[in-house]
Structure 1
Amino acid sequence: MLGSKRFQWTFGIVCIVGALFAYRRINTVFEAEAPKVSLQQWWGDGEKPEDWTAYVKNSSEIITNKLVFPDSTIDELRQRLNRTLRLTESMSPDFRNGFNTQELLNIVDYWRDNYMPRWREREVFMWQFNHFTTEIQGLRMHFLHLMVYDENKVGKHHYPVLLLHGWPSSIREFYPLIHKLHQTHPDKKNEYIFNVVVPSIPGFAWSQGTSRAGLGPVQVAVIMRNLMLRLGYRKFLIQGGGFGSVIGSHIATLFPENVLGYHSNLCTVFTGRSVIKGILNALKPNFFFRDGFEEMFPHWEVIKRLIEETGYYHLQATKPDTVGAVLSDNPVGLAAYILEKWSSLTNKDYKNSSNGGLRKRFKLDALLDNVMIYYLTNSITTSSRIFAEHHSTEQRELHMDSVPTDVPTGCARFKHDLIHFPDNQLKDKYRNLIHSTFYKDGGHFVALEMPTLLYTDFIAFVKKVEKFSKLK
C-alpha cells in the first residue's frame, strides 16, 4: 500500500515536471515560419493571363457602382413573401429549439407589409457611402471607400483603416461605425479621422465568389492586401470580427510591412501551448486573470455553449453547398437561418425569449437590410464555402496560428460573444499585444450593436499604436 502511494506521488511529480518542461518548450516545437503564398494566384473563371503585368494594368480600373435591383427582382421577392407558409408550430414559446415559428411569422409580416413597400428608401440608405468595384486576381471585388478631404485633415491624426466583416454579416454591420470613423465635419475635440475601406469578402454580397477550390482565409488576406495597395495605401490599420478577424490576423502576420496595427473583437489562437494554457485557465481562473475579468471565462460553460451553438459551423465546414441549395431562392428560410445567429451570438440568454431578443439591440430594418443583401446577391452558398476552405487540409498545413504576429495588436472582448481568449494565450501568437480590454456587455456583432463602444476601444488602441510605433 505504501509502495503504491509512493509510486503515485512519484508519477504525479514526473507528470508535473514534464508538463512544465513542455509548457516552456512548446513554443519552439509549434512556432512556425510564415508560409510562402502567391500574390498573383488566379481565381477567375477563365485561364490565368500569361502577361500578368498587362492584366493588372487593364483590370485595375475602379468603377463607381450603385446598388440597384430591377423591379422584376423585387416583385418576385414580394410574391414569395406572399405565399402561405406551412410552418410547424414551435414546441416551446422561445428560441431554445431554434427560430420560434410565431416570431418568424411576425418578421415575415413586417418584411412584406412594412419593409418591402419602403425598399427603394432602403436602397438609398445603402447608397449613402461610395460603392466601388474593381477586379483583383480574376474576381470582381466590391467595397466602400470613404476618403477625407484635405481641409478636414488639418490638426487631425489621419490613417487608412480596413474594416473586415464576418458571416452572416456584411458591410451593413459597419454603417454606424463608419460614421464615427469618417466624419465629414469632424468635431474639434476629435483627434482622429480615417480613410475607410470596407470590402465585401469574396463570395459575399457583390464580391464575386470563385469556382476554384482553395480560396481560404489566407488567400482572401492576399486579395484584401492587394486591394489596399491598389487604392494607394502602403500602410493601414485593420479592424475585424468573425471571419474578418481571421483574415485581418493573416494580413498582419503575412504582410507586417503594410499593417500599422491590427484590432479585433474576436482574437483567437489555437496552438498546442494555447490549449495547455486554456486547461490551466479553466482550472484556476483567479490565478491568471486580472480582478473582475475571471467571470468572463467560465470555460466549462463556454464548451457547453460551443456545442449548442456551432452546429451551423460544422455543417458549413463540411457541406456548404447543401446549405446553399436549401436556402437559395428561399427568403423565409434564409431569414430564419441568418437571424437566428444574430440572436444566439448576441446573447446566449436571448434563446429564452419568445422573440429571440433580436429587437433589444437591433432595429429590424437593419437586420432585414443584411438579409436582403444575402438574398438579392444570391451569396449564401459562396459565403458559406469559406468555412470549408478554412478547415481544408491545405489551409491547416499553413499553420497560421503558430506563426508569430509582431504587428501591434489590440483585442477587445465583449462578454456575450461565443468564445474568449485571455492574454496569456493570445501572447503566444500576438507578441506585441499592446491593448487588451474586457466589456461586460456586447456580443458577436458589436459593430452594429454597440458601435460607440467599439469606436472608443479602437481609438484607444490607435493611440497606443502611435506611442508603440512612434508614429507621432
Structure 2
Amino acid sequence: MKSGQSIETLKVSRRSLLFTGAAAGVAATLASVAGAADPVQAEAPAGKIRPFRANIPEAALADLRRRVAATRWPDGETVHDRSQGVQPERLKALVDEWQSSYDWRKAEQKLNSFPQFVTGIDGVDIHFIHVRSRHENALPLIMTHGWPGSVFELIDVIGPLTDPTAYGGAADDAFHLVIPSIPGFGFSGKPAETGWNPQRIAGAWDVLMKRLGYNSYVSQGGDWGAIVSDALGRQAPDGLLGIHVNRVERATTFPPDAAQALMSGAAAPDSLSPEEKSIYKEARDFLNNGFGYAAIMGTRPETIGYGLADSPVGLAAWLYDKIADWVFSRGDPERALGRQAILDNITLYWLTNTGPSSGRIYWENVAAGAKLEPVKVPAAVTVFPGEVYRPPRRWLGRAYPQLIYYNATAKGGHFAAWEEPELFAQEVRAAFRTLRS
C-alpha cells in the first residue's frame, strides 16, 4: 500500500486509540557519535536479500557510557509507589549496571548466532532473522514483535519453534521462522514518508514471505505484532493459512454496549456478567491511568522523540515504564525478564536511534483510522493472565469468525515469548496444528 492509500473507515479519536493499541551499512558504520548514534543505511535493492551482522562501532558504545555518566537526574517523586511513574531507585539500579558492567557485545553475539538478512520492500530496508528448521514439512511462520520490544523479545523461542524435538516437542510441530524488525525499529530502515501503518506493514510481510519462497505460511504476533497479524488476516493474501495472536483488539471484541459505555466513561452495562464487568473495569482503569504513553506517541511522536534521541536515561525510563507495567510480575520486570535482557532491548533502541521512529507507528495507526472488519482466515488466540486485556472466548466471534483455537494460560504477561518462552512455544504449536497439511 503506497503512502496516502487507505481503506475509508471511521477515524479514531485519541480515546478510541485504546482499542488499537538494517541496512547492511549498519554493520559497518554509524553517524558521528558527537550526535545521536544513528545507523547510516544503504538501502538494499528491491528484491535482493543480503546477509547482515550487527557490529556497532566501539565509539558509539563509549558515547553511550559518556552520556549515561553525565545524566542530570530529576528530583525524587512525592509518593512511595509507582503512581507517578518509574521509581528512581529501580531506574538508578538499572542504569548503574548499564554504566559499569553491561556488555553490549554479548547481545550482539546472541543476535549474530542466528542468520540475519536485510531486503528492500516498498522503499524501506527490512531487517529480519530467518531460521529454517531441519525437520521435513516445517510450517513457515512470520512472527512480529511489538513496542517497547524488539526482535530480542522473540529470540528465546527460535530454538523451540524451529527444532521442537530438542525441547520436548514433536517434529511435526516444527516451523521455518522469520522474525522481521518493524520499520522504524531496530536494524530496519526508518520510513521517510507517512503511511507505514499496520496495514502497509502487513502487506510488506506478505512480500517478504513470498520473496523467501514461502507460498503458504502463518503469522503470529503480540502487541503491534498482533495488530499486524490481524491486518494480514483481514487482507487474507493468497497463501496465508491463519494467524495466532496473544494480544486482542478491544474495538473488534468488546460487546457493542460495553464499548459505547467505555468510550463515554460510563459504568459497566448491566448486560455484562460479573466476570465481564471485571474485564470492563480493567479496560477503564487502563484508559484512565495507563494510556498516556500511547496518547503522546499517537499525537506528538516527534516532540517526545527529542528526549528519546538525546538522553539514554530518558529513553530507558520511557521503555522501562511500560515493560514494568505489562509483565506478569507487575512492577518487577527484572524478576520476569532479568536485567540483562531489559538492557539488551533498551540498548538496541539507543544504538539505532529508534526511540523516536518506533513511536511513529502509534501516529500512523491513528491516521489510518479504525479497522473493524473481521479477520478472514482461521485465527487462534492465547490469553496470558498478565495481559492488559483478557477477553473471554465468547467475545471473540465478531473479530475472528473462524476461531480454531483459544486458551487462557496460568502464567505469562504481555511479553509472553520473552517471559515464558517454553509455554509460548507450546501455545504456538497448538494454535497452528490443525492448519498443517
Which residue of structure 1 lines up, in the alignment, with residue 129 of structure 2? 144
Decide which of 231, 238, 243 is 2:219's aligned counterpart: 238
Would the aligned equivalents of 2:236 and 2:377 in 1 still touch at CA under 8 Å?
Answer: no
Would the aligned equivalents of 1:98 and 1:340 in 2 still touch at CA under 8 Å?
Answer: yes
Would the aligned equivalents of 2:218 and 2:243 in 1 still touch at CA under 8 Å?
Answer: yes
Matches of residues 309-348 of structure 1 in structure 2 within 5 Å? 309-347=290-328
Decide which of 94, 110, 113 is 1:107's aligned counterpart: 94
Q: Separation in 2 of the partners of 1:308 and 1:65?
A: 41
Q: 1:303 to 1:73 in 2, by over 3 A?
A: same
Matches of residues 120-131 of structure 1 in structure 2 within 5 Å? 120-131=105-116
Classify the secondary structure of the residue corresponding to 2:174: strand
Q: 1:205 to 1:382 in 2, by over 3 A?
A: same
Matches of residues 242-253 of structure 1 in structure 2 within 5 Å? 242-253=223-234
Which residue of structure 1 lines up, in the alignment, with residue 74 of structure 2? 87
Which residue of structure 2 lines up, in the alignment, with residue 381 of structure 1? 356
Decide which of 394, 409, 416 is 1:439's aligned counterpart: 409
Would the aligned equivalents of 1:241 and 1:266 in 2 still touch at CA under 8 Å?
Answer: yes
Which residue of structure 2 lines up, in the alignment, with residue 195 of structure 1? 176
Q: Separation in 1 of the partners of 2:246 and 2:278?
A: 16
- 1:86 deviates by 2.8
- 1:103 deviates by 1.5
Which residue of structure 1 lines up, in the alignment, with residue 20 of structure 2? none
- 1:209 deviates by 1.7
Q: Separation in 2 of the partners of 1:136 and 1:301?
A: 39
Classify the secondary structure of the residue corresponding to 2:226: helix
Which residue of structure 2 lines up, in the alignment, with residue 77 of structure 1? 64
Decide which of 201, 210, 215 is 1:229's aligned counterpart: 210
Q: Partner letter of residue 85 of structure 2?
A: G
Q: Separation in 1 of the partners of 2:222 and 2:269?
A: 24
Would the aligned equivalents of 1:306 and 1:418 in 2 still touch at CA under 8 Å?
Answer: no
Would the aligned equivalents of 1:161 and 1:195 in 2 still touch at CA under 8 Å?
Answer: yes
Which residue of structure 2 lines up, in the alignment, with residue 365 of structure 1? 340
Decide which of 402, 411, 417 is 2:387's aligned counterpart: 417
Q: Partner letter of residue 447 of structure 1?
A: A
Classify the secondary structure of the residue corresponding to 1:328: helix
Would the aligned equivalents of 1:277 and 1:425 in 2 still touch at CA under 8 Å?
Answer: no
Structure showing greater Rg: 1
- 1:175 deviates by 0.9
Which residue of structure 2 lines up, in the alignment, with residue 15 of structure 1? none
Give me the TM-score of the superposition, normalised by structure 1: 0.77
Which residue of structure 1 lines up, in the alignment, with residue 161 of structure 2? 181
Cα deviation code 1:20-59 (max 9, x no counterpart): xxxxxxxxxxxxxx959xxxxxxxxxxxxxxxxxxx9953
Q: 1:411 to 1:233 in 2, by over 3 A?
A: same
Which residue of structure 2 lines up, in the alignment, with residue 42 of structure 1? none
- 1:429 deviates by 2.4
Q: Separation in 2 of the partners of 1:114 and 1:58?
A: 39
Q: 1:301 to 1:192 in 2, by over 3 A?
A: closer
Q: Separation in 2 of the partners of 1:380 and 1:187?
A: 35
Decide which of 61, 76, 83 is 2:48's aligned counterpart: 61
Q: 1:136 to 1:295 in 2, by over 3 A?
A: same
- Asked whether 1:167 is paired with 2:147, we answer yes
Q: Separation in 2 of the partners of 1:370 and 1:465?
A: 33
How many positions carry a matched residue from both structures? 391
- 1:269 deviates by 4.8
Which residue of structure 2 lines up, in the alignment, with residue 208 of structure 1? 189
Would the aligned equivalents of 1:334 and 1:371 in 2 still touch at CA under 8 Å?
Answer: yes
Would the aligned equivalents of 1:148 and 1:184 in 2 still touch at CA under 8 Å?
Answer: no
Q: 1:391 to 1:168 in 2, by over 3 A?
A: same
Would the aligned equivalents of 1:268 and 1:421 in 2 still touch at CA under 8 Å?
Answer: no
Q: Separation in 2 of the partners of 1:346 and 1:80?
A: 28
Classify the secondary structure of the residue corresponding to 1:267: coil
Q: Separation in 1 of the partners of 2:53 and 2:281?
A: 48
- Asked whether 1:270 is paired with 2:251, we answer yes
Q: 1:229 to 1:386 in 2, by over 3 A?
A: same
Q: Partner letter of residue 372 of structure 2?
A: D
Q: Which moved more, 1:452-461 or 1:364-373?
A: 452-461
Give me the TM-score of the superposition, normalised by structure 2: 0.83
Would the aligned equivalents of 1:167 and 1:383 in 2 still touch at CA under 8 Å?
Answer: yes
Q: Partner letter of residue 449 of structure 1?
A: E
For structure 1, the residue ranges without an aligned partner over 5 or more in a row are 1-33, 37-55, 288-293, 351-355
- 1:181 deviates by 0.5
Identity of aligned residues (%): 28
Q: Separation in 2 of the partners of 1:217 and 1:185?
A: 34
Q: Separation in 2 of the partners of 1:147 and 1:273?
A: 38
Q: Separation in 1 of the partners of 2:105 and 2:285?
A: 43
Q: Separation in 1 of the partners of 2:435 and 2:162?
A: 19
Q: Separation in 2 of the partners of 1:232 and 1:296?
A: 47
Classify the secondary structure of the residue corresponding to 2:433: helix
- 1:278 deviates by 5.3
Cα deviation code 1:202-226 (max 9, x no counterpart): 1111111212122211111111111
- 1:85 deviates by 3.3
Classify the secondary structure of the residue corresponding to 2:138: strand
- Asked whether 1:133 is paired with 2:118, we answer yes
Q: Separation in 1 of the partners of 2:163 and 2:75?
A: 48
Would the aligned equivalents of 2:221 and 2:245 in 1 still touch at CA under 8 Å?
Answer: yes
Q: Partner letter of residue 85 of structure 1?
A: R
Q: Separation in 2 of the partners of 1:386 and 1:58?
A: 24
Would the aligned equivalents of 2:388 and 2:414 in 1 still touch at CA under 8 Å?
Answer: yes
Q: 1:187 to 1:362 in 2, by over 3 A?
A: closer
- Asked whether 1:406 is paired with 2:387, we answer no
- Alpha-carbon RMSD across the aligned residues, in angstroms, is 2.5
Q: Partner letter of residue 202 of structure 1?
A: P
Q: Separation in 1 of the partners of 2:269 and 2:406?
A: 19
Classify the secondary structure of the residue corresponding to 1:298: helix
